[in-house]
Chains A and B, each alone.
Chain A
Amino acid sequence: MRDFLIKRVLQAVGVVICISAITFFILNVVPGDPVRVMMGDMADEQTIEQVRHNMGLDRPVTEQYVNWFGNMVQGNFGTSYTQNKSVTVLMGTAFAVTAKLAGFAYLFALVFGLVVGVVSAVYHGKWVDRLLMALSIFGISAPAFWVAILVQIVFALNLKWFPLSGVKTAAAFVLPTIALGTRYAASIARVTRTSMMDVLNQDFMRTAEAKGLKTSAIILVHGLRNALIPIITIAGTQLGEIFTGSILIESVFAIPGMGKLLLDAINARDLPLIEGGVMYIAIICVVVYLVVDILYAVVDPRIRLGGEAAE
């Protein structure tokens, strides 16, 4: 298990370094001049050249990369071209907001997804199941921005239960949580239902029933635990998606998170900020997959034992 962990962590670090180099060079090859975008249409040539020089963008790309990489390893991603602020600070602030939203949305998705999935599986074929599954199809196919506008109109504009946008109060997170979490909840529900139905038909479930255990214990302890592997897979990848920011949800609800930060950075050709953002996404993905792999081993001893036996 320890060797397995070390190997996976080293792989992860290698992946991150490769991504940093690829991103840096691609961004420097892609046409489009960050200085001109930053200065606007009215700026004169002399000022543009002056600013380019001050920013060090007239130096060779390899020299720029070496400087950037050296600083990055020390945790310094440079200064945003447009915002005149440290990329680390900007990303830190945005991450705090995204983490809050993503955390709420993920919790919402997990709770709703698991409950709906389990209930559907238990009442398989009954009207409850049909209704819930119809709703889940709706949840998966409805675009997030559409759900966002819908909940804004209904719960903020008409009913006035929650704030329309912003991040001032905890209540302001309710609507974006629903808008962001709905799709994930729906897909977790569908996977949970399928996986649970497989498990519910297994022999050991009948044994548990025969032992006279309580129904809730049978379903949750024996059923859900054994159905967890596919759920962890999908919930894990979703965690990566949800934490790298939802550009649409953040735009619609005026939430200054990672997605919005990156989108604006790309539009403005704010290279240090884009590079910082890509590194952030890369690191999140690598970490999430690492955690998912470890969780498999924790939940299913066969994976852990199988792994050790093979070594």
Chain B
Amino acid sequence: MMEKSLSRRSFLKASAVTAGGAAASSMLAACGGSDASADGSKKKILKFGQANAKQGLDMQKSTNSGSSSIADSIFEAPLLWTEDNELVPCLLKEIPTFEADGVTLHCELKEGIKFHDGSTLTADDVKYSFERMFKPETGAKSTYMYDKIKGAKEMLAGTATELEGLTVEDDTHFTFVLTDPMITFVNNLGIDYADIFPKDACEKAGDAWGTGTNVIGTGKYKVVSNDDTTEVVLEKFEDYHDGTPALDEIHFTFIDDLNTKMMSFKNGDIDYCDLDASQLQQYQGDPDVKDLITQYQTLGVQFVNLNLSSEKLQDVRVRKALSLAINRDELIQSIAGGAGIAPSGWLAPQTPGHDDSAPTFEYDPEKAKALLAEAGVSNLELSAKVRANINQKQLVAVQDYWDKIGVKLTVETEDNGVWAQDWADGNLEITALGWFPLYADADNHMYTYFYSENAKAKSSFYNNPEFDDLVSQARIEQDQDKRADLYKQADDILTRQDYATIPLYYPKNQFVAKDYVKNAKVGNLVYHMNDVDIDTTKEDYAG
């Protein structure tokens, strides 16, 4: 008995010693010197903090902007949307244009582009990447953006194994043939869903492609380490095809908790990260952080979705009254912490088709009441279901505004999965959400949401043949000015004639970056490190 208790005590003692030793040794390790280049100058290491998207870095399989921010430094697509929301060539020599038939697109790759593994990019890699996307076993999530390529739908259905509409002429020339005209196809070649992978390496990695260090692209930075759970480390790719990348290393650290992420920023553990709208006011008042905040305009819109199949929402006067009742300027301040601008339509300002001359939506509760009376509507009761995020707060504010014109709105919160199902099934009378297109083009905005066939699956049921005509024409119009004009007209019909939806505001997002981080800029939602640099002469840059 004595022996047993002795051994128990010595166990405890030993454990305490071990724990103390471990802590001490790691504290010593933490005191190591900072990284420096061979010539003695400080290495340029950017530390970016973000939540872990947990979907891997293969953008055929992920649709998460958190995957994009890392993947876009490693992989490249044929074209590129810049932070100024412009489309420029990337792997291609120039932006291709359709032949007169509207379906044939000749493309030419730049010569001698290297992948990180040293192999050279050829048109075969392009063909391989697109065919991989349409193979059912890949489970690609954004095939709808490219499935107008001849043979794509057959591959998806498993009835073909080769992509008929993509032919390779030689190492640098290839041609797409579409089933029918789709002008935005070229735009879609600038999104990371069209990333080009090296055939051999990708085939070898199989299902593991996009995870760990199975990420080999042509991008500015190549992967050094990636544990998929805590950190991804990239380093400069010396053989990059378009100049030398500015940074030596980029460390992406995964921090899901918003509060911890901002404390890590203050602590200097990370140099650059997103700042959530819910924390904006707090950090605008923090002397250490307030001057490091940058706001940017997204391409999206936050809006109230009206279900036009509801009996109660048939009369356009009722819908207009609901819009008139909302004080958008006040709502932006109270709900979004001021991070938004009052809307004048559905399309956000940088999107071609946004009408600069249109006034912002009017706020006039008296006029709203008069319209309801004119429509013979009283004691209107509406029900809303919404996800527990900023949209819920928006609807609670709307509830109050509508109450003032005699409209009762009940707001119910639903779990993500349930809401998504209800939304698609057309079960939501009223809901609120944000719509963020992938790039500055109205097609993704208007056709995707409000074209009659699509609107059915979004609890909107908007169906106006005139609108359908305009957005369909815009899909095949080659002249960009004419396209913009078509969308201008469509937006007017949608939001100012039909009041088919109620835009609340064009949201702004914001990030924080230390003052030694140069060229930090976000064009839409994804953080790109393409142009980011570090000023090593700044005193507070530790290296």
Residues of A within 8 A of B (CB): 31-34, 36-48, 50-51, 54-55, 82-85, 93-94, 97, 104, 107, 111, 149, 152-153, 156-157, 160-161, 163-172, 174, 220-221, 225, 251-254, 256, 260, 264, 267-269
Question: How many angstroms from the CA of A166 to the CA of B270 in the assembled complex?
Answer: 12
| Residues in A neighbouring B64, C-beta threshold 8 A | 40
From B2, B211, B435, give the contact of A84 (CB < 8 A). B211
Least Cβ–Cβ distance between B117 and chain A, in angstroms: 22
A-B contact pairs, 28 of them (CB 8 A): A31-B417, A32-B415, A32-B418, A33-B420, A39-B63, A40-B63, A44-B144, A45-B457, A47-B141, A51-B139, A51-B141, A54-B136, A84-B55, A84-B58, A104-B19, A153-B263, A156-B267, A157-B266, A164-B263, A164-B267, A164-B269, A167-B230, A169-B29, A254-B253, A256-B230, A260-B256, A264-B54, A269-B416
Contact A84/B207 with A107-B19, A153-B263, A164-B264 known, Cβ cut-off 8 Å:
yes
B416 contacts A83, CB within 8 Å?
Answer: no
Interface 1/0 per residue, B119-139 and A, CB below 8 Å: 000000000000000001101
A165 contacts B264, CB within 8 Å?
Answer: yes
For B253, the closest partner residue in chain A by CB is: A166
| Residues in B neighbouring A37, C-beta threshold 8 A | 416-417, 420
B417 contacts A254, CB within 8 Å?
Answer: no
Question: How many angstroms from the CA of A42 to the CA of B145 in the assembled complex?
Answer: 11
Least Cβ–Cβ distance between A44 and chain B, in angstroms: 4
Interface 1/0 per residue, B131-170 and A, CB below 8 Å: 0000011010111100000000000100000000000000
| Residues in A neighbouring B532, C-beta threshold 8 A | none
Interface 1/0 per residue, B453-491 and A, CB below 8 Å: 010010000000000000000000000000000000000
Contact A251/B256 with A40-B63, A174-B23 known, Cβ cut-off 8 Å:
yes
A221 contacts B2, CB within 8 Å?
Answer: yes
Total number of B residues with any Cβ neighbor in A under 8 Å: 65
B5 contacts A220, CB within 8 Å?
Answer: yes
Question: How many angstroms from the CA of A32 to the CA of B9 in the assembled complex?
Answer: 53
Contact A163/B448 with A41-B433, A47-B142 known, Cβ cut-off 8 Å:
no
A32 contacts B2, CB within 8 Å?
Answer: no
Least Cβ–Cβ distance between A156 and chain B, in angstroms: 6
B23 contacts A50, CB within 8 Å?
Answer: no
Question: B30 contacts the other chain (Cβ, under 8 Å)?
Answer: yes
Not counting A83-B54, A157-B263, a sample of 17 additional A-B residue pairs whose C-beta atoms are within 8 angstroms of each other reads: A31-B418, A36-B421, A44-B454, A50-B143, A50-B156, A55-B139, A83-B56, A84-B56, A152-B263, A164-B269, A165-B255, A165-B260, A167-B230, A171-B27, A251-B260, A252-B260, A254-B257
Contact A267/B263 with A84-B56, A164-B269, A254-B255 known, Cβ cut-off 8 Å:
no
Question: B1 contacts the other chain (Cβ, under 8 Å)?
Answer: yes
For A39, the closest partner residue in chain B by CB is: B141
For B434, the closest partner residue in chain A by CB is: A41
Least Cβ–Cβ distance between B386 and chain A, in angstroms: 13
For A248, the closest partner residue in chain B by CB is: B257
Question: How many angstroms from the CA of A221 to the CA of B229 in the assembled complex?
Answer: 45
A254 contacts B433, CB within 8 Å?
Answer: no
| Residues in B neighbouring A264, C-beta threshold 8 A | 54
Question: How many angstroms from the CA of A69 to the CA of B144 in the assembled complex?
Answer: 34
Interface 1/0 per residue, B214-254 and A, CB below 8 Å: 00000000000000111100000000000000000000011
Chain B 420-448 residues near chain A, CB threshold 8 A: 420-421, 423-424, 433, 435, 438, 444, 448
Chain B 256-290 residues near chain A, CB threshold 8 A: 256-257, 259-260, 263-264, 266-267, 269
Least Cβ–Cβ distance between B526 and chain A, in angstroms: 14
Contact A251/B421 with A43-B63, A156-B263, A264-B54 known, Cβ cut-off 8 Å:
no
B141 contacts A43, CB within 8 Å?
Answer: yes
B9 contacts A171, CB within 8 Å?
Answer: no
Question: How many angstroms from the CA of A160 to the CA of B30 in the assembled complex?
Answer: 11
For B156, the closest partner residue in chain A by CB is: A50
| Residues in A neighbouring B416, C-beta threshold 8 A | 32, 37, 267-269
Question: How many angstroms from the CA of A46 to the CA of B30 in the assembled complex?
Answer: 52
| Residues in B neighbouring A153, C-beta threshold 8 A | 263
Chain B 1-47 residues near chain A, CB threshold 8 A: 1-2, 5, 9, 12, 15-16, 19, 22-23, 25-27, 29-30
Question: How many angstroms from the CA of A41 to the CA of B428 in the assembled complex?
Answer: 15
| Residues in A neighbouring B420, C-beta threshold 8 A | 32-33, 36-37, 41
Least Cβ–Cβ distance between B19 and chain A, in angstroms: 7
| Residues in B neighbouring A260, C-beta threshold 8 A | 256
Question: How many angstroms from the CA of A42 to the CA of B26 in the assembled complex?
Answer: 46
B1 contacts A170, CB within 8 Å?
Answer: no
A252 contacts B63, CB within 8 Å?
Answer: no
For A270, the closest partner residue in chain B by CB is: B54
A256 contacts B417, CB within 8 Å?
Answer: no
| Residues in A neighbouring B12, C-beta threshold 8 A | 111
Q: Among B26, B210, B448, B457, find the residue whose CB has the most chain A CB atoms closer than 10 A.
A: B26
Question: B173 contacts the other chain (Cβ, under 8 Å)?
Answer: no
Chain B 387-437 residues near chain A, CB threshold 8 A: 415-418, 420-421, 423-424, 433, 435
Question: B61 contacts the other chain (Cβ, under 8 Å)?
Answer: yes
| Residues in B neighbouring A253, C-beta threshold 8 A | 257, 260
For A254, the closest partner residue in chain B by CB is: B255
Contact A46/B23 with A32-B416, A167-B230 known, Cβ cut-off 8 Å:
no
B229 contacts A93, CB within 8 Å?
Answer: yes
Question: How many angstroms from the CA of A32 to the CA of B267 in the assembled complex?
Answer: 40
Question: How many angstroms from the CA of A152 to the CA of B253 in the assembled complex?
Answer: 18
Question: How many angstroms from the CA of A107 to the CA of B14 in the assembled complex?
Answer: 12
| Residues in A neighbouring B25, C-beta threshold 8 A | 170
For A177, the closest partner residue in chain B by CB is: B19
A164 contacts B260, CB within 8 Å?
Answer: yes
Kindly list the 3 A-B residue pairs having the minimum CB-CB distance in the complex, ordered from nearest. A32-B417, A256-B229, A36-B420
Contact A254/B56 with A39-B63, A42-B448 known, Cβ cut-off 8 Å:
no
A152 contacts B260, CB within 8 Å?
Answer: yes
Least Cβ–Cβ distance between B4 and chain A, in angstroms: 9
Q: Among B141, B211, B254, B454, find the residue whose CB has the most chain A CB atoms closer than 10 A.
A: B141
For B424, the closest partner residue in chain A by CB is: A36
Least Cβ–Cβ distance between A151 and chain B, in angstroms: 12
For A172, the closest partner residue in chain B by CB is: B26
